[in-house]
Amino acid sequence: MSQSLRARYDAEAATYNRTRFGDRRGALARRIKDDAICAILQRRGLLRPGTRILDAATGTGRLLAALDPTPVHLVGADISRGMLDQCRATVGGRATLAQGDLVDLAFRDATFDAALLGGFLYLIPAAAYATYTNDLARVLAPGGLLLCEVANTKTALNPVNMVRIACYRRRHAVKSYVSARDCAALFPAFTCEEVIGVEYPVWCGPKLARWMGERPVLRGIGGKYIAVLRRR
């Protein structure tokens, strides 16, 4: 599977940002998700000087760019050389980049205080989540946090999302949708501390979309969850 993912994202790298985030809705959804992740890290005291954060499956460096210029040491890892080239163009020398597979990361044990895993888990069945996050537990310090983005089962309650996700699934093979309750069992190397709904991507103005994204009930039927996991 790793080889097929590498080939796929090497081929998509040059157009990835434009096709995912190039329109108004995509840019807004990206900003809502990025802001949510930064807010979690800030609330958990992880944006202080000296903190080491790994963005696993970093892709084009969207999250690394969102975290710049915070005073943390940023590291991005991805299996695709093409995506890393795009990432380098995005973040320049503000982050350390490394090519590598999630199941065998080239970092020492307990290297990082926190790790981020964006949309990667959409690509694999929920039963394989542990396979692709166990090595992240190894490279995290004891008690370190992993923030994972997963596709939300309740998205079907939002008609706009239902159509959009169905189209995405057909084109890009989203493998699994999970509930907030599922997250406690899908990551055995971690304790699930909270699950936060993000992204209410409707075609409306930024102020209205942001307001919707701040309402817990509406946020819970957005497209994505962020699972906040602590290494056991």
Residues 180 and 193: their CA atoms lie apart, in Å, by 11
Q: Is 141 in a helix, a strand, or coil? A: strand
DSSP 43-57: HTT-SSTT-EEEEET
Residue 69: CA atoms inside 13 Å, Cβ hemisphere, count?
Answer: 0
Does 215 score more than 80 pLDDT?
A: no
Residues 6+ apart with CB under 8 A from 104: 135
Provide mean pLDDT across the span 173-191: 89
Does 227 score more than 90 pLDDT?
A: yes
Residue 154: CA atoms inside 13 Å, Cβ hemisphere, count?
Answer: 17
Token readout for 188 is 């055995």
Q: Is 42 in a helix, a strand, or coil? A: helix
Does 31 score more than 60 pLDDT?
A: yes
Distances (CA, A) of 83 to 30, 60, 159: 18, 5, 32
Provide mean pLDDT across the span 50-77: 94
Provide mean pLDDT across the span 33-37: 88
pLDDT in tens, 109-153: 999 999 999 989 988 999 999 999 999 999 999 999 999 999 888
pTM for the full model?
0.87
H-type helices in 51-156, by residue range? 62-67, 81-91, 129-139
Provide mean pLDDT across the span 82-94: 92
Distances (CA, A) of 4 to 11, 80, 124: 11, 10, 12
Domain ranges of the chain: 2-231
pLDDT of amino acid 153: 83
pLDDT of amino acid 147: 98
Provide mean pLDDT across the span 51-68: 94
Q: In what order do the strands lie in the sheet with 73-78?
A: 96-99, 73-78, 52-56, 112-117, 140-151, 224-231, 190-198
DSSP 202: -
Provide mean pLDDT across the span 208-218: 63
Bridge partners, residue 195, by sequence: 227
pLDDT of amino acid 216: 63
Give the model's confidence band at 11: pLDDT under 50 very low, under 70 low, under 90 confident, else very high: confident
Token readout for 148 is 């994972």
pLDDT of amino acid 45: 96
CATH class of 2-231: alpha beta
Token readout for 6 is 């590498």
Residues 37 and 192: their CA atoms lie apart, in Å, by 16
Residues 177 and 155: their CA atoms lie apart, in Å, by 9
Residue 199: CA atoms inside 13 Å, Cβ hemisphere, count?
Answer: 25
Provide mean pLDDT across the span 186-198: 93
Lowest mean pLDDT among 21-35, 192-206, 212-226: 212-226
Does 72 score more than 60 pLDDT?
A: yes
